Structure 1
Amino acid sequence: MTCVVRHLKPEDEAEWRRLWTAYLDFYETRVPEEVYRTTFARLLGDDPQDFSGLLAEVDGRLAGLAHYLFHRHGWKVENVCYLQDLYADPEVRGQGVGRALIEAVYAEADDAGAPAVYWLTQDFNMTARRLYDRIGTVTPFIKYARPA
């Protein structure tokens, strides 16, 4: 298997939609068409420090995505990097696609001078957590959200 990670391009929209829809399905959620259009446009924006997308090609076929952004942090002078979305097609899981995408985000953070990369996952996502435990450090923080 050959995995190549690259930046999202305008002509990737159909396959990006397929991958992101599968990601949203995994989390049992849906977003309106306006969110698809807006997110894709933001991912292609002129400022890579804003919101960016990476795709993983496996043997020439798009099989994974990562969305990440940089933001200010109250405890650091430099921006930090938030890996917001990460997805690999089920048929390529366990073959290094997720690792390649995360390592590509690490490289983007290094290039941007961001000293930290972080992400969230659900506690029951054991498949992903096996990878995350190898290439990241679990933190003691618990996420809270404003009630809907």
Structure 2
Amino acid sequence: MAVTVRAVAVGDRAGWETLYAGYAAFYGVAQTPAMRVVVWDWLMDAGHGTTGLVAVTDDGALVGLAHVRPFARPLSASVGGFLDDLFVDPAARGQGVAVALIAAVADMGRAEGWSVIRWITAADNAAARAVYDRVARKTPWVTYDIGLSG
């Protein structure tokens, strides 16, 4: 499948929302339409820092999304990019869409002067991890969270 990866645009709202709802469902996250409005507003606000990319087929269908933002890396005195969300429509999986999105994020990072692109995934996300193992290096770091709200 041939796709073009580009920045998310105002006219992508419906397709993006369908993909993002699919992403939340994949991870079992109870995401409301109001929550998607917040994220969409971030993506449309150039001053926010979160950037959205979409993978688009030749006929204009959105088949994947990526959300990325810069993060400070004090130990290396550099800035990296954190890939918060990556999702490909199940019907488009296995056709290079995820690789194209990751490559576009890496290109963006190079253009921004970032030192690394970093992301996390669920340990049991075997299909995605097979892709990630081909395009990136698995780190030895373990992730922890402290929940701060409800």
Q: TM-score range by the shorter chain?
A: over 0.9
Moved more, 122-131 or 38-47: 38-47
Q: Report deviation, 1:37.
A: 1.0
**Alignment of 1:122 onto 2:117:** no
Q: Report deviation, 1:73.
A: 1.4
Q: Report deviation, 1:33.
A: 2.9
Please give the alpha-carbon distance, in whole angstroms, between the structure 1 residues aligned to 2:92 and 2:116.
Answer: 27
- What amino acid does structure 2 have at the position aligned with 1:43? L
Task: Look up the match of 2:58.
Answer: 59
SS at match of 1:22: helix
Task: Look up the match of 1:5.
Answer: 5
Please give the alpha-carbon distance, in whole angstroms, between the structure 2 residues aligned to 1:17 and 1:82.
Answer: 21
- What amino acid does structure 2 have at the position aligned with 1:54? L
Q: Report deviation, 1:71.
A: 1.5
Please give the alpha-carbon distance, in whole angstroms, between the structure 1 residues aligned to 2:139 and 2:72.
Answer: 20
In the alignment of these two chains, the number of paired residues is 147
Please give the alpha-carbon distance, in whole angstroms, between the structure 1 residues aligned to 2:106 and 2:46.
Answer: 20
Unaligned runs of 5+ in 1: none
Task: Look up the match of 2:143.
Answer: 143
Task: Look up the match of 2:80.
Answer: 80
Please give the alpha-carbon distance, in whole angstroms, between the structure 2 residues aligned to 1:30 and 1:109.
Answer: 31
Q: Report deviation, 1:58.
A: 2.1
Task: Look up the match of 1:97.
Answer: 97
Identity rate, percent: 32
Task: Look up the match of 1:14.
Answer: 14
Please give the alpha-carbon distance, in whole angstroms, between the structure 2 residues aligned to 1:47 and 1:110.
Answer: 20
Please give the alpha-carbon distance, in whole angstroms, between the structure 1 residues aligned to 2:7 and 2:41.
Answer: 13
Q: Report deviation, 1:47.
A: 3.6
Q: Report deviation, 1:72.
A: 1.1
- What amino acid does structure 1 have at the position aligned with 2:144? Y
SS at match of 1:75: helix
Please give the alpha-carbon distance, in whole angstroms, between the structure 2 residues aligned to 1:47 and 1:106.
Answer: 21
- What amino acid does structure 2 have at the position aligned with 1:101? L
Moved more, 81-90 or 33-42: 33-42
Q: TM-score normalised to the size of structure 2?
A: 0.93
Alpha-carbon displacement from aligned partner over 1:68-122 (angstroms, at most 9, x marks no partner): 0001111122211000000001111111000000000000000000011000000
Unaligned runs of 5+ in 2: none
- What amino acid does structure 2 have at the position aligned with 1:124? D
Please give the alpha-carbon distance, in whole angstroms, between the structure 1 residues aligned to 2:131 and 2:116.
Answer: 18
SS at match of 1:79: strand
SS at match of 2:73: coil
Q: Report deviation, 1:129.
A: 0.5
